[in-house]
Amino acid sequence: EAYWSIDLHNLLHFLMLRMDSHAQTEIRQYATVIGEEIVARWVPFVWEAFRDYRLNAMRLSGPETELMRLLIAQDQPAVKEWLKEHGWVSLKDGKKSREAKELEVKLETLGLRLP
C-alpha cells in the first residue's frame, strides 16, 4: 500500500510539468488521467480554471511581445526588419532561428503568421 501526500498548488504544478507537450507520452497520459479523472471530480472549478488559465494559456517572451505589437499594427516592413535585426531570420539564407520557429507555432494557434 502506498500513500501520496501533496497540496493542491503543488499537484497542479506537477500536472503542468507532466502534461507539457515536451514530456514523454506515457508521463503525459498518466498526468492526464490524474487531472481528468481525479482532480476534475474532486475540485471541478479549480480544474476548469487550471485548464483555462494555465494548461491552455500561451506565454510570450519580451521579444515575442514586441514583435506581436508590430504584427497587430500590420506593419509588414517593420516586422521583416525586426526579424533580421534580432537575428531571427538569417541575412544570408533567410533561415529562421529557433525563436522564430517557436513564435510561428504560437501564431498558428492564434490563426496568424509571420510575413
> Which tens digit of pLDDT belongs to each residue from 7-31?
999 999 999 999 998 999 999 999 9
97's CB contacts (< 8 A; 6+ apart) are 87, 88, 89, 90
More confident residue, 114 or 46: 46
pLDDT at 115: 82
**Residue pair 107/113 in contact by the 8 Å Cβ criterion:** yes
Domain boundaries, the chain: 8-55, 62-109
Q: Hey, which residues does 89 pair with through a beta bridge?
A: 96
Global confidence as pTM: 0.76
Active site positions, annotated: 18
Residue 91 pLDDT greater than 90, yes or no: no
Average pLDDT over residues 101-107: 93
Residue 65 CA: distances (Å) to CA of 24, 81, 96, 100: 29, 16, 18, 13
